[in-house]
Structure 1
Amino acid sequence: MIDAQRLLPQSKHDVDSIPFIIKAGYPAIAPILDELLDWTADSNWPVARPLADFLVTLGTPLIDPISRILKGTDGAQKYHCITLLIRRLPIDVLGGLEEDLRQLADHPDEDDKREGIDIEASEVLLHFERHHLP
């Protein structure tokens, strides 16, 4: 059994941790999904993009951890979550985030407006509506 906590990056420069995370795969990394998403909170961090590249392949298991980010208070993290992860998720997975995205698009707080979250969420919803079969 893998101690998933040991897989977490040690710093924003720890790209060497990514192959071990990928090799462990899902469901071994399930207990640390929230913490892994924290390492994608800023797309300028070297670890963020390669980690996001892997995480988007997980699909449905990302819905709840991403939902927690979207319901949170960190506008910058929401922005990077949308641009690094949400925009790349399959339509069926986006469906699980539709309510959270609609809330951000229609009722953003001041921090969300400042970060452009309402615009980003609206664009993702438009993409979802175009490609979602009723």
Structure 2
Amino acid sequence: MIDAQGLLPRNKHDLDSIPRIVKAGYPAIAPILDELLDWTADGNWPVARPLADFLVTLGPPLIDPISRILRGTDETHKWHCMNLILHKLPIEVLGGLEEDLRRLADHPNEGDKREEVDIEARQALFRLEHMSRET
């Protein structure tokens, strides 16, 4: 039995944690998906990009945790989530976030506008609509 909590990075420089997280894989990391996404809250952190690149591969299990970020109040985290993860998600997974993306694109709060979360949401929706027409 894997101790999922023990897999979490200890700090933003803990690149040694990434191979352990990848090796454990899903569903072993299911209990810590929200916490793993917290480590992608700032794309400047060394652990953020490699962790995001792995998380993108998980597919549908990311929908609910990402939705919680998009519905949250941390606009900077939303922006980094979109840039590091959302723009790389497969279309079928992105489709599961369409409602949240439409809300952010059409009714952003002031913080979302300041961080350009609405622009990122519109770009994700454009990709979703464009790719859906091609399939």
Identity, % of aligned positions? 73
Task: State how far apart, in whole Å, the 2-side matches of 1:8 and 1:105 are.
Answer: 32
The alpha carbon displacement at 1:25 in A equals 0.2
Show structure 1 runs of 4+ deviating over 2 A: none
Are positions 1:69 and 2:69 aligned together? Answer: yes
Runs (5+) with no aligned partner, structure 2: none
Task: State how far apart, in whole Å, the 2-side matches of 1:70 and 1:93 are.
Answer: 15
The alpha carbon displacement at 1:41 in A equals 0.3
The alpha carbon displacement at 1:76 in A equals 0.1
The alpha carbon displacement at 1:131 in A equals 0.7
The alpha carbon displacement at 1:33 in A equals 0.1
Task: State how far apart, in whole Å, the 2-side matches of 1:79 and 1:56 are.
Answer: 16
Aligned to 1:125: 125
Could you say what secondary structure the match of 1:68 adopts? helix
Runs (5+) with no aligned partner, structure 1: none
Q: TM-score, normalised by structure 1?
A: 0.99
Report the count of equivalent residues. Answer: 134
Aligned to 2:114: 114
Aligned to 1:16: 16
Aligned to 1:94: 94
